[in-house]
Amino acid sequence: MVYRNICFSSTRCMSDLTGTMDTTTQTSDTASTDVSTNKTTNGVEKGCAAIKPQYLTSKEKFHEFVDSGLEGGKGKDSSEAESAAEEATGEPEEKRIKLDNGAQPEDDKYDKKKFRGQNKSRPHMKPQKYDDRRLCPSIIQERETKCFYGDKCKFFHNIAEYMASKPADLGERCYLYDTFGKCQYGVTCRFAKAHTGPDFKNLVNDDVFNTFKGRTLVRNNLSKDLQWQLRKRKVPFKGADAYLKTINKSKPQGGKDKESDAVEKDSADSSCCPAEAQNEHTEADSTVTAKDTEEGKSLQVAEKSVGALTDVDIVKLRPCERKQVDFRDKLYLAPLTTCGNLPFRRVCKRFGVDITCGEMAMCTNLLQGQTSEWALLKRHESEDLFGVQLEGSFPDTMTRCAELLNDNIDVDFVDINSGCPIDLVFKKGGGCGLMMRTNKFEQIVRGMNSVLDVPLTVKIRTGVQEKTNTAHKLIPELKKWGVSLITLHGRSREQRYTKLADWDYIDTCSKLASPIPLFGNGDILSWEDAMKARETGVSGIMVARGALIKPWIFTEIKERRHWDISSSERLDVLRDFTQFGMEHWGSDTQGLEKTRNFLLEWLSFMCRYIPVGLLERVPQKINERPPYYMGRDYLESLMASQNVEDWVKISEMLLGPVPKNFSFLPKHKANAYK
């Protein structure tokens, strides 16, 4: 079942709210500006993007036009679709706030609250559930030996029966086979006819395959041996343990400091799921106490090092001798949760981004050897300047995780996330919470610096409270602690995206950070925005939502021009993403549906883009919501839809029809306009 999107129902234009879309035929003379009523030209509410009148339309006409091009379109009324979506999410209607005088709050305030944040109870189907009969890996990989589990194996072993029940192939050419000379997914590939013989044997193009021998396209994989050691706690952390002993000596007797007690109390009060409790217990158990230190000393005496004594054993690297990275005057793609995956970063690299960073990874999950968390650290060979971002709230776990990554993966820098605003992270003292816990923050930065051979960077916000900026007080301390780069998002935690980023404050902080480079972040959607940001004292620019809305923003900034990209070119960008997704997640049913899921998440942002040729005033601003408009062709109109069904239609153009039991609702309600 496909659900109609409810994300933007609170962000309709005035024409939708007042039912006056017939004004789209008015001329600019009759639709004069009225400042007192907050209207702009063409009768459009203030906050809507200015689009040429000939392209504007009503919500009903827009959906009627888009649905007319869909095969088997249901033509369902929008109100019915929205109610079906709300019913499908399983989320009960939020209670209205009861006022003292018995009155109800204003509808607009209620709607603003209702359509903010995440769809926490959205339906979620794991990609492997779409494949009813999964073939055994021993058959797919054509191993000479039989399956290790024999008759107890839970997977299917009869190829003929599997092929009879397998969904039809999606095409006659396989991207993986054409690119690499071999498709590792064999008969399970949804393009298997392109590389399987009559006996279902997987074919290999030796000429193409040999060109990739010895090349490692994706690095930073978690080996089975390292995963076993992490799960059994067999990995030594000599550097981290040595640093933690110095912290323990400086602690006052009587246990933990007040900061830790307060944070742990908040964590206990806010815990509502087993995963949170597990993370809290892990961090609490790993905190170094005096007793642990004494035991560590006795173990250290018993352990004897083997081999010759080298300079590395007795001489520590000075900061100036570490790997140096020139961050200045570069374009930085922000670490984006969910959407900032490896295939998306590859798309942005094609458009000219200089610095890429993996999605935020929880340090406790990395130390436990979780495969899903380690997948966030993977690096493609095209990412020439790449870092990873860690989240944590305690110096022991963060320092050990830094040492673990320093010894086992290839990165150019490590970033500390001290800007994440979500409650799950903040209430445990991580993310923005670190900005309020300067003692712990200092211990984390100094500890990670002591075990890393690469630069350590920090991403912060202006502060926690909306009208109380604290970054200017923290930045001088970060300089003393030894960070190599500071990235400042021009918003507070409480503010979220309700107001524009404060670039004047970013300018002030950049002067305080000198000579350490400081990157600014917030509201960059055009090359004019980037040039205006560079007029401040920042050393570079980080782009986040702007890259999700239009990843070609990096080309626009470097070439200083507006790119009126066509709908077919945008579809080619999406096709590149799906091909990179099949390379990364797989070309079988499971991989295709995982690629589709991430594609749909991206489309929930990309639909906000308004083509340059349709704008009455260039450039588009990131806080301006798009009104309903007709594109210059059907595909352009389809890409402008804020309806989940239409996003699914776009995905079907690239990945074939969705499974029968398919369902999707975007992660974020994305109410950044109100």
d(CA 448, CA 244): 11
- Would you say 156 and 133 are in contact if contact means Cβ atoms under 8 Å apart? yes
Phi-psi bin for 42: left (phi > 0), alpha (psi -120 to 50), beta? Answer: left
Sign (positive/negative) of CA torsion 143, 144, 145, 147? positive
What number of CA atoms fall less than 13 Å from residue 94's CA on the CB side?
14
- H or E stretch including 492? strand 485-492
d(CA 370, CA 606): 31
At residue 509, the 3 state secondary structure works out as helix
Distance of CA 18 to the CA centre of its chain: 36
In 3D space, the residue among 198, 124, 112, 149 whose CA is nearest the CA of residue 673 turns out to be 112
DSSP state for residue 151 in the 8-state scheme: G
Angle between the N-to-C axes of helices 438-451 and 471-481, in degrees from 0 to 180, rounded to the nearest 10: 30
What single letter denotes the amino acid at residue 316?
K
Q: What angle do CA 404, 406, 407 make, to 5 degrees?
A: 70
φ, ψ dihedrals at 126, nearest 5°: -70, 140
d(CA 179, CA 209): 9
DSSP state for residue 39 in the 8-state scheme: B
User: How would you label 434-472 residue by residue, b for 16+ Cβ within 10 Å and e otherwise?
Assistant: bbbbbebbbbbbbbbbbbbebbbbbbbbbbbeeeebbbb
Paired tokens of 12: 């309709």
Give the CA-trace dihedral at 345, 351, 353, 354, to 10 degrees: 110
d(CA 10, CA 114): 8
Q: Decide if 339 is catalytic.
A: no
d(CA 392, CA 361): 9
d(CA 187, CA 669): 39
Given 420, 432, 509, 607, the catalytic residue? 420
Helix extents (H) in 409-521:
423-426, 438-451, 471-481, 503-513
The end-to-end CA distance of the chain, in Å, is 30
Phi-psi bin for 132: left (phi > 0), alpha (psi -120 to 50), beta? Answer: alpha
Q: Which residues pair with 51 in a beta bridge?
A: 615
What single letter denotes the amino acid at residue 621?
K
Paired tokens of 91: 């989320």
In 3D space, the residue among 200, 150, 401, 140 whose CA is nearest the CA of residue 282 turns out to be 401
Q: Which residues are catalytic?
A: 420
